[in-house]
Amino acid sequence: MDFIPHTEQEIGEMMDFLGIKSIDELFDDIPEKFKANKLGLGKGLDEIEVFKLAYNLASKNKAHLYSLAGCGVYFHYVPSVCDFVSSLPGFFTSYTPYQAELSQGIMKALFYFQSLMTELFNMDVSNAGMYGGASALAEACIMAHRMTKKKVLLSAGINPLWLEVVVSYLKSSEIDFDIVPLKEGRTQIKENDDIFVMQSPNFLGALEDLEEARGKSRGIFIVAVPDPVDMAILEPPGSFGADIVVSDGQPLGNYPYFGGSSLGIFLTKKENIRRMPGRIIGETQDMDGNTCYAMILQTREQHIRREKATSNICTATSLLAVRSAVFLKYYGEDGLKKIAQNSEKNSMFLRERLKPIFQAEYIKEFPTYADVDERKFLENGILPPVRLERILPKFLDEIEFESLTGLKKDAYIICTTEIFSDEEIKRVRDLF
């Protein structure tokens, strides 16, 4: 949005109305010792000078098309149709619309998003999106505790960055929790009556046994999925009886800008719908019998029932949900499956040379103690894999984390996606 400053005439009229002789008099209440005498901004620039300055600064950035980094943010190709549709004025907002009669286009798109999510994860109902995967998982734990008043058992295989957010929520809500350790890269599943939370594939890229977990968990079973693209080749968590499923829609047509953009995906069973945070868009008919869309459930909203709200988050990343719906409609079932298969194939090619730390079934990520020269990767235009010490959760020290996961801080998590062609992945392998 362009900035239109006040004119000298308008400033003069304002000062006359207020009975002051200078703008500085507006700040007389501030003690002199707190006022800045000099800002150091220098001489003002005209528009073309500002443009050139910004252009030259931006040219120093390096754009990496190829990446071996994963751990919750994935470099899938984003088709241009996602940019085109999401840039249309009717969609260009992060908010879920409040006035249904004026927002039929975006509500229809969000209805499609919900429908696609329920199909992808084989769940009964999806909301219209939340902030991110980490906060969605935290909200899922709070929802489950509200339903059962039970302890929350968190798998150590949950992404450490997500785990940190979840633990922060649980501590502030005074909810009791334990962390379940890994053995050979997978969660040590035990019989329990509590709220059991696990991620599959986990942050190491290893597949968890959801069937066993559901069989041994007689309480609420929550499954987190870091990359929904994997659902194209895996049995969805809803098929194993998950009560709540959360994921992150960043890989579905959203760019990995500085670790985002992030879109929380939240699904549950039909019987839990009124306990679910988030808004739901429904399809209905107007008084003339025409198909239309309305916000049919927003029980979490603090602007409606502050003291009884299921969550204090009052918005969602709806623009990213629209992009995700466009991404899935563009590729379809076969296209999404091809993306997942090529991502896994590239990972398998690297695993032939780089020995994973644990003997487990992996998809596109895996842990290794390989010697990684990060500078060499950057010089070749490739973001290097993630060194584990960079994502250690702050509430655990290095020794505690190693005892829970079996990993030392110098391990790397390597991730591949469909971005690499066969020839390119061969060149990547030669860099190790």
- pLDDT more than 70, % of the chain: 95
Tell me which residue of 377, 387, 366 sits closest to 432, measured CA to CA. Answer: 377
**Cβ–Cβ < 8 Å for 229, 217:** no
Confidence (pTM): 0.85
pLDDT, position 313: 67
Q: Poorest-confidence range of 59-73, 156-170, 188-202, 335-349?
A: 59-73
Q: Please give the average per-residue pLDDT across 362-373, as a whole number.
A: 94
99: confidence class by pLDDT, cuts 50, 70, 90: confident
- Backbone dihedral angles phi then psi of residue 349, each to the nearest 5 degrees: -65, -40
Instruction: Please check the confidence at residue 1 and state whether its pLDDT lies above 50.
Output: no
pLDDT, position 309: 73
DSSP 309: -
Tell me which residue of 70, 57, 42, 403 sits closest to 256, measured CA to CA. Answer: 70
Average pLDDT, the chain: 91
pLDDT in tens, 241-266: 999 999 999 999 999 887 778 899 99
pLDDT in tens, 150-200: 999 999 999 999 999 999 999 999 999 999 999 999 999 999 999 999 999
Q: Which CATH class is domain 80-326?
A: alpha beta
DSSP string over 33-79: GGS-S-----S---HHHHHHHHHHHHTT----SEE---TT-------
**What does R_g of the chain's alpha carbons equal in angstroms?**
25
Instruction: With H, G, I as helix, E, B as strand and everything else as coil, classify residue 294.
Output: strand
Paired sense of beta strands 195-199 and 152-155, if any: parallel
Q: 66-75+332-430: which CATH topology?
A: Aspartate Aminotransferase, domain 1 (3.90.1150)
| Tokens encoding 376 | 């060499």
Cα 112-117-121 angle, rounded to 5 deg: 155
Query: ω into residue 228 within 30 of 0, thus cis?
Result: no
Q: Poorest-confidence range of 7-11, 26-30, 299-303?
A: 299-303
- With a CB cutoff of 8 Å and minimum separation 6, the contacts of 240 are 210, 211, 213, 214, 223
Q: Tell me which H or E stretch contains 403.
A: helix 398-405
Instruction: For residue 71, count other CB atoms closer than 10 A to its CB.
Output: 22
| Tokens encoding 249 | 């829609």
Amino acid occupying residue 74: Y
Q: Do 80-326 and 66-75+332-430 have the same topology in CATH?
A: no
Distance CA 246, CA 132 (A): 9
Cα of first residue to Cα of last residue in the chain, in angstroms, is 47
283-287, 293-297, 298-302, range with greatest mean pLDDT = 283-287
CA distances from 116 to 235, 239, 309, 377 (A): 16, 16, 27, 37
pLDDT, position 2: 58
Torsion of the alpha carbons at 105, 108, 109 and 113, rounded to the nearest 10? 170
pLDDT, position 310: 73
CA distances from 206 to 249, 287, 357, 359 (A): 20, 52, 11, 9
Cα 130-135-138 angle, rounded to 5 deg: 125
pLDDT in tens, 22-33: 988 999 999 988
Residue in the structure block whose two tokens are 């076969």:
334
**Cβ–Cβ < 8 Å for 87, 309:** no
| Tokens encoding 389 | 């010490």
pLDDT in tens, 312-331: 666 668 899 999 999 999 99
Where are the chain's structural domains?
A: 66-75+332-430, 80-326
Instruction: Please check the confidence at residue 302 and state whether its pLDDT lies above 60.
Output: no
Cα 107-109-113 angle, rounded to 5 deg: 110
Distance CA 241, CA 123 (A): 9
**Cβ–Cβ < 8 Å for 213, 198:** yes
Tell me which residue of 148, 139, 150, 140 sits closest to 175, measured CA to CA. Answer: 150
Paired sense of beta strands 280-285 and 264-268, if any: unpaired
Bridge partners of 367? 413
Distance CA 145, CA 169 (A): 12
